Amino acid sequence: MKRNKHILFISAAVTVAFIFLNACKKEDAATKQPLAFSHLDVPSGWPAPHYDYSTNKLTEAGFILGRKLFYETKLSKDNSISCGSCHQQASGFSNQGHSLSTGVDGQLGKRNAPAISNLIWQTNFMWTGGVNNIEVMPLSPISNHLEMNETIANAVSKLQNDAQYPPLFNAAFGTSTINSQLLLKAMAQFTGMLVSSHSKYDAYTNGEIDLTTNETNGLNLFNQKCASCHPAPLFTNLQYINFGLDSIFNDPGRSEITGMAADSGKFKVPSLRNVALSYPYMHDGRFATLEQVLDHYSHGIVHSATLSPLLNNITPLSVTEKQDIISFLNTLTDETFINDERFKNPN
């Protein structure tokens, strides 16, 4: 009997807890911008993320640690630059105005620092897709001698010897002994949470607002001419194609990873979210403006053996068409995302 009472009490407690949690959840949903640190914002209608945190439990402490690490200059050899140096929130986590970015000792990187958002929907990372998991993404920029030029072992040791970090790792993972795995898992808790889904375009698809006539014309043109490689909601098909930039490839592109000549001059189709902020464009940042990019696709395609067949017979765009497409591309700017307090540099 006593046992029954016990069970009854537990059930009651669980029910109360459930009601309470549900109530919290409702409140979250009602708030337009989720402020929770460990709440993964999977927008309705989007596909399931490729990376789902099943092996890296998302927690507030993990996210806060990951954010601090993203902005941590100690991850570079001379403690001068962080991930956030070249991936700035105000420009959609890109390096606005820089074709190539400057690493330690004034070294210039090899390719344009891409804008970062919606990474958990991506299967591979970098312009050539050489990185196969969001968790191991930071290893390359940290260790690349043109970027942060630090060894992983040194980075871990610098954090271990910084009084701030052992307690933060303990809060996040239950141990103050830092290793590369915990460092990387924490960073993935931050970078994966960088979800951009509150642009004007999103408000339009949610039925909250209307687009202007120019933007609507631009959207229609975009759907006809661009969306096969840049489909919503991610605005990338995650494929590698030759965009028709060159006939001789100074940068071998995707073939560097696959070893196949058929992949020469191919690069990953970038997402267009926050594209108006993330200039300059292309893997080498050769185009300063969206006008230049559209001019390229309109009448600047260079033929070569691996050129995407989709770019073979392009009908040139009129001036008005270009303007309308650019009006539409501007609706992909996500003010909520670039101003989200959760993503700001805490240091």
Partner 1 sequence: MKKAIILFAFVSVFYSCKKDEPVNLNPTGSVVINFNHMAGFNALVMDNAVNYVNANSDTFSVQVFKYYISNIKLTSKDGTVFSEKESYHLIDAGNPNRTAFTVANVPYGDYTSVSFIIGVDSARNCSGAQTGDLDPALGMFWMWDTGYIFAELVGHSPQDTAAGLNHMFTYAIIGYQGQYKAMKTVTIPFYNDAKVAATATPTVNLKTDVLEWFKTPHTISIAAVPFTDVPNQVTLNFADNYADMITLQNIRNQ
- Site residues, partner 1 (CB under 8 A): 55-56, 126, 130-136, 139-140, 143-144, 151-153, 156, 179-181, 183-185, 188, 256-259
Compute the least distance from the CB of residue 124 to partner 1, in Å: 9
Residue 183 or 275 having the CB closest to partner 1: 183
Residue 79 or 258 having the CB closest to partner 1: 258
Compute the least distance from the CB of residue 260 to partner 1, in Å: 9
Residue 80 or 124 having the CB closest to partner 1: 124
Those residues whose C-beta lies under 8 Å from the C-beta of residue 347, and which sit 6 or more positions away, are: 68, 71, 72
Compute the least distance from the CB of residue 138 to partner 1, in Å: 9
Contact 332, 273 (CB under 8 A): yes
Residue 153 or 310 having the CB closest to partner 1: 153
Structure tokens at 76: 């570079």
Residue burial 37-50, b: 16+ Cβ < 10 Å; e: rest = beebeeeeeeeebe
Residue 1 or 30 having the CB closest to partner 1: 1
Compute the least distance from the CB of residue 158 to partner 1, in Å: 12
Compute the least distance from the CB of residue 51 to partner 1, in Å: 8
Residue 144 or 223 having the CB closest to partner 1: 144
Contact 320, 41 (CB under 8 A): no
- Computed on alpha carbons and rounded to an integer, the radius of gyration of the chain in Å comes to 23
Compute the least distance from the CB of residue 195 to partner 1, in Å: 19
**What angle do helix axes 180-191 and 165-173 make, rounded to 10 degrees?**
70
What does the alpha-carbon distance between residue 306 and residue 208 come to, in Å, rounded to a whole number?
42
Q: Could you tell me the sign of the dihedral formed by the alpha carbons of 11, 15, 16, 18, in that order?
A: positive
What does the alpha-carbon distance between residue 267 and residue 141 come to, in Å, rounded to a whole number?
18
What does the alpha-carbon distance between residue 64 and residue 238 come to, in Å, rounded to a whole number?
29
User: Which uninterrupted H or E stretch holds 6?
Assistant: helix 2-30
Compute the least distance from the CB of residue 75 to partner 1, in Å: 13
Residue 61 or 294 having the CB closest to partner 1: 61
